[in-house]
Structure 1
Amino acid sequence: MAVSPTLSKRRLSKRLRELREAKRMTADAVVERAHALGGTRWSASKITRLERDEWLRPRVEDVELLLDVYDVTDLAERAELVRLAREARQRGWWAAYDDVLGRGALTGLEPGASRIRTVELTVIPGLLQTPDYARAVIQAGGIHDDAEVNRRVEARMLRQRILAGPDTPQLWAIIDVAALRKADTAQLRHLIDVQRRDLRVRVLPDEVGPHAAVSGGFTLLDFDGDSTVVYTENPVTQALTDDPDRVREWELVYQYVSASALSVEESRTLIQDLIDRQ
């Protein structure tokens, strides 16, 4: 998979927390040891921030000092964590769009994913939107300044580059038919044309009635050699979690929804029928 500074930083934070816990050290004990080794500007709150992935660009020197604090002497392990720190310091393309994407948590994780599974009830998934449809969705959200709308559309189209590169993640999208009915012909045609062996679209038809995801859509991001991350959002908040219990719950929801969805071919036929009626 492609290098994702966001994913590298997340992995680094998790590993540093694990190292501290393995040494059974409190954050205050880490600070005391860091000072004894010549470190400056260390505090318990700083340890907490970095372990929660709340730092912006990790300093390689800080990581190396923490490895000394935790008595990490294995050269390969040290090299791997320093590599993660250097990758985490890179700026993904989304950093230039922080005015419309914020920290771009989901956008930053997508390039490093091996598989993305998404369920959408009211809109077409962002990775599958056409420019005109994306513009309509953004404006429907109450944004009408042309400059801002254009930047948001541009950022959304840039996200889709991960579907065209050599390290393309698999993408499985399940979309409620209600969202398809509100899409224009070009958007519906795109959902048919874009499909390939590792990119599939399935539809939740009206006939299934209430289903496991009726309360809202979600996205599961799988990573080689790392835990799955669940992304959820509503009009005012966004959330990411890799808590094993929560991930298992969302995996089960996805399985239920997948069991209710039409097959790929049945979905293609339904989408074509919607096009023919427009």
Structure 2
Amino acid sequence: MENEPTAELIRAQLRRLRVRAELSQEEFGRLVHFSGSQVSAVELGHRPLDRFFLARADEVLGTGGLLMSLLKLAERDGQPSWFRPWLEAERQAQQLRCYQPSLIPGLLQTENYARAMIRTDDMLAEQEAERRLAVRLDRQTVLAGTDPPKFVAVVEETVLRRADESFRGLMSQQVTHLIEASSHPHIAVHVIPADIGLHIGLTGPFTLARGGDGGWIGYLENQLGGTVIDKDEDVAILLSRWESVRSEALSRRQSIELMKEVVESWS
């Protein structure tokens, strides 16, 4: 899914930069490992924008990453209308709280885990799956900026241990990533032990974001997408449920020890 005005801007910039470098489509194609006809198809919009192509184009043309930055904007702008307010809230948040009963939270997923999860949807074409993966990994940069939000995640122990033989290496890498993420002062991962019985969080995942004005908004995921929650009474319910699920979880240190035990049990 490309945002057409932004995609056309990328194609126009690509043509302008190539011409300014005095390169024909054939000459430019050799430098970026594409054929001249493929370069033409990209510039004319007959071929979808390709991350590898644009990354190579940035290198060859010395753009400082301009084309890839524009592509990220196109991918964000191409998100469904219901998701854009949450993306904006996530980028501007000072605090993020996430509870996930069945998956690793998206902001903490490794590339391999994220790709495996996205590809469980067999209705997605390869290109769309890779586009969704790129957007998810780009979202994670919010935790790596100069002034990142405080991110607290609560996950179920059963999520960490969900791995058959073929999936074990991927999960070992993923849980190790959670341990490493927890070493950062602005990231905390808390685990609800498997021996905890029924609790309110099991009714579904939710995320909360606190903006610079001190206000909170929520986000609920479902099989068809998600819903942004901004009514005060609904946000208050989610904040209350956050306190409930957080109270069921282990401390930060205990959670790290449990995650280490999970990884060691597979080795």
User: Is TM-score (shorter-chain normalized) higher than 0.5?
Assistant: yes
Matched residues in 1 for 2:73 and 2:261: separation?
37
Deviation at 1:141, TM superposition (A): 2.8
| Pairing 1:135–2:123 present | no
AA aligned opposite 1:160: Q
Is the Cα contact below 8 Å between 2:96 and 2:149 reproduced in 1? yes
1:121-132 to 2 correspondences below 5 Å: 121-132=101-112
Is the Cα contact below 8 Å between 2:72 and 2:135 reproduced in 1? no
Question: 2:206 — aligned with what?
Answer: 218
CA displacement 1:40-65 (0-9 Å, x = unmatched): xxxxxxxxxxxxxxxxxxxxxxxxxx
Match of 1:164 among 127, 133, 144: 144
Structure 1 pair 113–137 and aligned structure 2 pair: CA distance change class (3 A): same
Question: 1:114 — aligned with what?
Answer: 94
Question: 1:146 — aligned with what?
Answer: 126
Matched residues in 2 for 1:217 and 1:107: separation?
17
Deviation at 1:143, TM superposition (A): 4.4
AA aligned opposite 2:174: Q
Deviation at 1:148, TM superposition (A): 1.5
Is the Cα contact below 8 Å between 2:75 and 2:135 reproduced in 1? no
| Pairing 1:182–2:169 present | no
1:1-278 to 2 correspondences below 5 Å: 93-99=72-78, 101-103=79-81, 104-105=83-84, 106-182=86-162, 184-195=171-182, 196-278=184-266
Deviation at 1:176, TM superposition (A): 0.9
AA aligned opposite 1:254: W
Deviation at 1:145, TM superposition (A): 2.3
Is the Cα contact below 8 Å between 1:92 and 1:108 reproduced in 2? no
Identical counterparts, % of pairs? 30
Is the Cα contact below 8 Å between 2:89 and 2:211 reproduced in 1? no
Matched residues in 2 for 1:222 and 1:164: separation?
18
CA displacement 1:56-110 (0-9 Å, x = unmatched): xxxxxxxxxxxxxxxxxxxxxxxxxxxxxxxxxxx994542455x3233322221
5+ residue gaps, structure 1, are 1-90
5+ residue gaps, structure 2, are 1-69, 164-170
Is the Cα contact below 8 Å between 1:200 and 1:264 reproduced in 2? yes
TM value normalised by structure 1: 0.63
3-state SS of the aligned residue for 1:224?
coil
AA aligned opposite 1:151: R
Structure 1 pair 218–262 and aligned structure 2 pair: CA distance change class (3 A): same
Matched residues in 1 for 2:264 and 2:186: separation?
26
Matched residues in 1 for 2:200 and 2:264: separation?
30
Question: 2:26 — aligned with what?
Answer: none
Question: 1:36 — aligned with what?
Answer: none
Matched residues in 2 for 1:161 and 1:223: separation?
17
CA displacement 1:167-210 (0-9 Å, x = unmatched): 21110000111211126111010000112111000001112111
Structure 1 pair 227–234 and aligned structure 2 pair: CA distance change class (3 A): same
After TM superposition, the structure 1 stretch with the greater mean CA deviation from structure 2, 129-138 or 177-186, is 177-186
3-state SS of the aligned residue for 1:168?
coil
TM value normalised by structure 2: 0.66
**How many residues are paired up?**
187
3-state SS of the aligned residue for 2:203?
coil
Deviation at 1:275, TM superposition (A): 0.6
